[in-house]
Amino acid sequence: MMRRLKTSFASALRAGMLRHKATLTVTAALFAAASAFADDWSSSRPDGHAPIGVMGDHAHKTGEWMFSLRTMHMDMEGNRDGDSNVSVSEVLGDFVVAPKRMSMDMQMLGVMYAPTDTVTLMLMLPYVELEMDHVNRMGVEFTTRSSGLGDIKVSSITTLKDWHNAKLLMNFGVSLPTGSNTEEGLTPVGKVRLPYPMQVGSGTYDFMPGLTYLAQTDTYSWGAQGIATIRTGRDEGYRLGNRLMLTSWGAKKLSDTLSVSVRLEGETWGDVRGADRRIAQSLMPMGMGPFPSVPTAIPSLRGGSQASLSVGANYYFRTGFAAGHRLALEIGAPIYQDFDGPQLETDWTGTLGWQLAL
């Protein structure tokens, strides 16, 4: 008996690479079949990460690191009060200066690390560039710009519940006041402290609690996330309004490397509390009476709500020199906007991202 076993073991060894290859193929086929039926939630597929506009959407396994870079662009043009458009001349009827257009660009470096299977830590380092075009009552057009390191966010993502094909995660983040909120810019009345939306940072410590839900089938995945931003204290005499964001998405896996997605996002945010005394709320043009300066400088004209729809694609490199790398793109536009206005309305947003887990 022993001899026969020994002989067959030896002949198995002698069979060498060919046999080994066959075994690997069978094992791989079994694994593929098992994963097709087991329905366990997996991040190793293109839609294993949410659309790139969503952050803190997934957890990692113990010891795993992930690095990401995102470039985000937002384009705003035209004013809106409530849910209807207002022209520049209507804005200039009530204010000395009217904003016409604004763009926001953000480059964001993200690092994730999982000390345990339950908890993933995340650090986000943004670099922000803002630009706003205006026109005043004299017809003079001018542009203000600000840029710099934004508010650094540290957060944790905790797995609360792990079903086979679904997960419930708890998000908790703190936004640190590393971004400047004392930016200045040149205007027709000289160098002034720029209004609230042109400041790079919030100025305050902000808490960001939230929940994320994820689910997958063989070819589809979907998820939902809600994150609140709760501002604390005041800086320069004010704090920005609190914010609530709810989003939900669905994705279809077209192949092992490519998935496409649609996402709905709703956001509501409050007015500025308090006021920065250096941001001029009124001006006296040509010796006339004080007039409100520009809508962006008025704390009670900052709140609003909006809903937007985005489409996206995730690409997950599985082989070759880029194996493990991810590229993703998402483009969105509002379907509803309602502001304590006038405020500039968003026309479109885009996010391009790269991710690598090690």
- What minimum distance in Å lies between the beta carbon of 60 and Cu ion? 6
- What minimum distance in Å lies between the beta carbon of 58 and Cu ion? 6
- What minimum distance in Å lies between the beta carbon of 321 and Cu ion? 21
Distance, first Cα to last Cα, the chain: 47
Nearer to Cu ion, 60 or 253 (CB): 60
Nearer to Cu ion, 168 or 307 (CB): 168
State which of residues 55, 72, 91, 112 lies at the interface with Cu ion (CB under 5 A).
112
Q: Should residue 66 be labelled a site residue for Cu ion when binding is judged by CB under 5 A?
A: yes
Residue entry with tokens 């009476």: 289
- What minimum distance in Å lies between the beta carbon of 242 and Cu ion? 27
> Rounded to an integer, what distance in angstroms lies between the CA atom of residue 222 and that of residue 226?
14
Which residues fall within 8 angstroms of residue 156, CB to CB, at 6 or more apart?
119, 120, 121, 122, 171, 172, 173
Q: Should residue 192 be labelled a site residue for Cu ion when binding is judged by CB under 5 A?
A: no
- What minimum distance in Å lies between the beta carbon of 279 and Cu ion? 38
Nearest residue (beta carbon) to Cu ion: 66
Which residues fall within 8 angstroms of residue 142, CB to CB, at 6 or more apart?
133, 134, 135, 136, 186, 187, 188
Q: Should residue 50 be labelled a site residue for Cu ion when binding is judged by CB under 5 A?
A: no
Residues touching Cu ion: how many (CB under 5 A)? 2
Nearer to Cu ion, 56 or 241 (CB): 56
Q: Report yes or no: 122 and 154 within 8 Å, Cβ to Cβ.
A: yes
Letter for the amino acid at 157?
Answer: I
Query: Around Cβ 164, how many Cβ atoms within 10 Å?
Result: 11
Which range binds Cu ion by CB under 5 A, 25-33, 58-66, 172-180, 287-295?
58-66
Bridge partners (DSSP) listed for residue 107: 71, 127
Nearer to Cu ion, 120 or 187 (CB): 120
Q: Report yes or no: 230 and 207 within 8 Å, Cβ to Cβ.
A: yes
Provide the binding-site residues for Cu ion, judged by CB under 5 A: 66, 112
